[in-house]
Amino acid sequence: MTRLATILLLALAVCAQSNFARAAVPSPQNSSFPSCLVLCPFGDIQFSCVIRDLASNPVAAASVVLDFSPCPGAHICTTQPPDHLLNLPARTIRIFTDANGQGTFQAHVGGTCFTSTVNVIANGVLMRQFALASPDQDADGVVTATGNDLVVFNGKLGGGTDVTADFDCSSSVDANDLTILTQHHMHGCSGVVDVRRRSWGGIKQHYR
């Protein structure tokens, strides 16, 4: 092999390694996220994303973290889905993307925080920053759509755009958001609180 051919092969190898390294880096511009972050203590509101690299290829097995450390108003439940890795002292929840680069949080989180106080990080790269909205407006871990959460919500209803009560990501707080609040009534960290009055026998039958 001539010296020139050797140099060309080395150059191609360096380029290939460089392209591989670039492909492994998540791209905030090429990745997809919802327009807002809304969560419920019961974990029944999803937050899905697709992580792509600099070449717009999906990044499989990417580590995606919701970082609530700048968001003191978030109520992070100690119980999370099995595939959600909770670090309570650090106030983070981690999942991993599938083969298509998609990851879905069903995080058990309540409370609220304003703009750019929840970080979304993929493989160490800051992807987005969100406000936090939740039907659990008072951050006590339970949605009370006939109690204090409704009182707090009503203070934001119709008064302009308050991202902490905009549950449908419509850029306004309106009757649709009130409907969503009531749909999550008595949703808590450990389940749905049954507030119907029952006999003791009926309660035992209900929870079997």
For the chain, what is the HEC assignment? CCHHHHHHHHHHHHHHHHHHHHHCCECCCCCECCCCEECECCCCCCEEEECEECCCCECCCCEEEEECCCCCCEEECCCCCCCCEEECCCCEEEEECCCCCEEEECCEEEECEEEEEEEEEECCEEEEEEEEECCCCCCCCECCCCCHHHHHHHCCCCCCCCHHHCCCCCCCCCHHHHHHHHHCCCEECCEECCCCCCCHHHHHHHCC
What mean pLDDT comes out for the span 52-56? 97
For 5, half-sphere exposure in the C-beta direction (CA atoms, 13 angstrom radius) is: 2
Tokens of 33: 């996220």
- Supply the pLDDT for residue 161: 83
Measured over all CA atoms, what is the biggest interatomic distance in the chain, rounded to whole angstroms? 91
Query: In the predicted model, is pLDDT for residue 81 greater than 60?
Result: yes
Residue 28: how many other CB atoms lie within 10 Å: 14
The reported pTM is 0.82
Q: Percentage of the chain surpassing pLDDT 70?
A: 82
Q: Percentage of the chain surpassing pLDDT 90?
A: 77
State the pLDDT confidence band at 2, using cuts at 50, 70 and 90.
Answer: low
Q: Which amino acid is at 12?
A: L
Residues 161 and 85: their CA atoms lie apart, in Å, by: 33
Do 40 and 135 form a contact (C-beta atoms < 8 A)? yes
Residues 206 and 185: their CA atoms lie apart, in Å, by: 19
Q: Residue 118: beta bridge partners?
A: 130
- Supply the pLDDT for residue 7: 41
State the pLDDT confidence band at 196, using cuts at 50, 70 and 90.
Answer: low
Q: What does the pLDDT look like over 122-180, one tens digit per residue?
A: 999 999 999 999 999 999 999 999 999 999 999 999 877 899 999 999 999 999 999 99
Query: In the predicted model, is pLDDT for residue 9 greater than 90?
Result: no
- Supply the pLDDT for residue 158: 87
Which of 47-51, 70-74, 201-205 has the lowest average pLDDT?
Answer: 201-205
Q: What does the pLDDT look like over 99-113, one tens digit per residue?
A: 999 999 999 999 999
- Supply the pLDDT for residue 6: 40
Query: In the predicted model, is pLDDT for residue 45 greater than 50?
Result: yes
